[in-house]
Chain A
Amino acid sequence: MSTLAANAPGAAGGGLSDVAASEATLRRFLHGLPGVDQVGLESRAATLGTRSIKTTAKAFAIDLAISMIDLTTLEGADTVGKVRSLCAKGLNPDPSDRSTPQVAAVCVYPDMVATAKEALRGSGVQVASVATAFPSGRAGLPVKLADTAEAVAAGADEIDMVIDRGAFLSGRYLEVFETIRAVKAACERPDGTSAHLKVIFETGELQTYDNVRRASWLAMIAGADFIKTSTGKVAVNATPPVTLLMLEAVRDFRAATGVQIGVKPAGGIRTTKDAMKYLVMVNETLGDDWLSPHWFRFGASSLLNDLLMQRQKLSTGRYSGPDYVTVD
């Protein structure tokens, strides 16, 4: 199924830039996307969750999942010490087994970026920072841009921005589009490189699958490098159907434009079993091209401990427990 085949203006030319020429064209494009078959989507996601992954495949999946984690601490009570210890854990998740891979990134609030950057220097582990008045996104554009610029200046490699759900739900798509554009511009560094931009939809607040599909296309056209489900701060976070829908969106976007976009489900993924369900979905929907930390991430904190416990089980044969991993 290609969502784009029938109705994407400019798809043939591989560019979608004219879509955002005005509020009207953008709305026409987003509302022209085919509706989501809710029953089909949910049953497909459920079916993909029933695969049995064992032994060597499981070992591979666990290591891959660890290397895809954005190890996250986004609490009001975060301290410099906590961020440093989280970075140490990201660099060396299981001190009892040095073959454990590093995580992909450590995700913190902007004021902790410098601390994390210092702790991770030279390691290859990225520093991701949330920005744009995370998690609500309720601030004026200048504040959001300053928030972003500060994080980038402090050394953030990746910026996780939130969209204004209020604007999106009331149909002000162009406003959301322009904000993403502006934040993308704010991600640029003086040397001409640019921080990776992840756009968070907070799918738990978007109400319908159709809205998730529209938000995905909106963000991808606006220049997102990654699309991300949730902040982890609301009741409903990443779910398999929503993630599957976003995976299909990035697949269709690449087919239409040749541009590859990453996906990051975040929040509520706590067990190895959950993580493996997502990996199966990625493999079945997108294939090998996306099965790397460069294109798929897990936003999680407690997931890492469960992965480590499962990893210890595979290497020792004994079921592990929380006494054998760190308390974060």
Chain B
Amino acid sequence: MSETALRIDTPARIQVSKTYKLYVGGKFPRSESGRVYEVTDTKGQWLANAPLGTRKDARDAVLAARAAVKGWSGTTAYNRGQVLYRVAEMLQGRREQFAAEVAAAEGVGAKKAAALVDAAIDRWVWYAGWTDKVAQVAGGANPVAGPFFNLSTPEPTGVVGVLAPRAGYGFSLLGLVSVVAPAIATGNTVVVAAAEQAPLPALSLGEVLATSDVPGGVVNLLSGRTADLAPTLASHQDVNALDLAGAIDPEGPGAAAALEAAAADTLKRVVRPAADPSAEDWTAAPGTGRLLSFLETKTVWHPMGI
């Protein structure tokens, strides 16, 4: 058979496009509502349908996250670091896919997108290194006026609701990693509302987590209307802390105020969003701020036995 004949016989190949799904409790469910919404690139071209996560999906995710707290917070810090490093390895293997998704989602060039993905992988490794060091920074032996050893150790807060940074600034993956990794590095579990306009990198991150050694339920990724998901997480009594990185109203500051009020009703720790989203530079060195935000200090008084 000649090469020409072969070309004629082979029909044009149809692209196999991906069905993006939520990542909840280690599984990939469609939204409970059965609905999806269209995700477009910055020029309005259709990219994919993302599941339209509902309040019920958010509650299911909180249940999954709560169930995972005991196991994940009970692993040794050393083991947690290894698991997180494994995530970075898996991310590295899918570097091209994430670069393409970030470039499409946020209209940045291929080169810049690749650099942002590399930064996200490096950030994951950086936080993986912190797992067995955070106790030395956030805890320690306290001098007390009595015959006691007095030791403070940081413990994870529990279930953290995370609003991922809004899209449009190139941070649909790097921003997400910068808020998820510090929370789980210290043993918390998270329910993440992905950036509404650019959820695809977040949903693909679910596939990475599922193929690394992170137990199901430690990270739960939801796409959908942030206006639906955020109040549910803010008022849910079984969510212990809230990272409002993505709760920024383009109209101006104050969108987070209602969420903060709901969170205060249920005594949550809250990390407030930056006042100006465009001023938030996720490529800058993150510092330990977010790492230390979702910790509770346990102090033990132990008699010296004199």
Q: Which residues of A lie under 8 Å from residue B266 when comparing CB positions?
A: 318
Q: Is the CB of A322 within 8 A of B66?
A: yes
Determine whether the beta carbon of B236 is less than 8 Å from that of A318. yes
Complex CA gap A317/B235 in Å reads 9
Q: Counting CB contacts under 8 A, is B296 at the interface?
A: no
Nearest chain A CB to B230 CB, angstrom units:
14
Contact of B235 with A319 in the complex, beta carbons under 8 Å: yes
Whether the Cβ atoms of B66 and A318 lie closer than 8 Å is: no
In contact, A321 and B59 (Cβ under 8 angstroms): no
Does B299 touch A at the CB level, under 8 Å?
A: no
Query: How far does the alpha carbon of A322 sit from the alpha carbon of B239 in the complex, in Å?
Result: 11
Q: Does B41 contact A (CB under 8 A)?
A: no
B159 closest partner in A (C-beta): A321
The verdict on A323 contacting chain B, using a C-beta distance below 8 Å, is: yes
Collect the chain A residues with CB atoms within 8 Å of residue B235's CB: 317-319
Interface of B is mostly: helix
Instruction: Name A322's contact: one of B232, B236, B238, B265 (CB within 8 Å).
Output: B238
CB-defined interface of A150-186 with B at 8 Å, one 1/0 digit per residue?
A: 0000000000000000000000000000000000000
Q: Which of B209-254 contact A (CB under 8 A)?
A: 232, 235-239
Give CA–CA (A318, B262) in the complex, Å.
Answer: 10
Identify which of residues 27-80 in chain B touch chain A, using a CB-to-CB cut-off of 8 Å: 59, 62, 66
A257 contacts the other chain (Cβ, under 8 Å)?
no
Nearest-neighbour CB distance to chain A for B1, whole angstroms, equals: 56
A82 to B266 CA separation, bound complex (whole angstroms): 30
**Chain B residues whose CB sits within 8 angstroms of the CB of A317 once the complex forms:** 235
Distance of A207 Cα from B241 Cα, bound (Å): 48
Kindly report which residue of chain B lies nearest to residue A320, judged by CB atoms. Answer: B237
List CB contacts (< 8 Å) of A294-328 with chain B: 312, 317-324
Bound complex: CA A239 to CA B232 (Å): 33
Give complex CA distance A324, B239 in Å. 12
Which residues of A are found within 8 Å of B236, using beta-carbon distances? 318-319, 321
Distance (Å) between the CB of B59 and the closest chain A CB?
A: 6
Enumerate chain A residues within 8 angstroms of B62, measured Cβ to Cβ.
319, 321
Q: Are B66 and A319 in contact (CB under 8 A)?
A: no
Chain A residues lying within 8 Å of B66, measured Cβ to Cβ, are: 321-322
A271 CB, min distance to chain B CBs, angstroms = 11
Chain A residue at smallest Cβ distance from B265: A318
Besides A312-B237, A318-B235, A318-B265, 15 new A-B residue pairs in contact (Cβ under 8 A), listed by A number: A318-B236, A318-B237, A318-B266, A319-B59, A319-B62, A319-B232, A319-B235, A320-B238, A321-B62, A321-B66, A321-B239, A322-B66, A322-B238, A323-B237, A323-B238
On A, residues with C-beta under 8 Å from B are 312, 317-324
Q: List 22 A-B contacts (CB under 8 A).
A: A312-B237, A318-B236, A318-B237, A318-B265, A318-B266, A319-B59, A319-B62, A319-B235, A319-B236, A319-B237, A319-B238, A320-B237, A320-B238, A321-B62, A321-B66, A321-B236, A321-B237, A321-B238, A321-B239, A322-B66, A322-B238, A323-B237
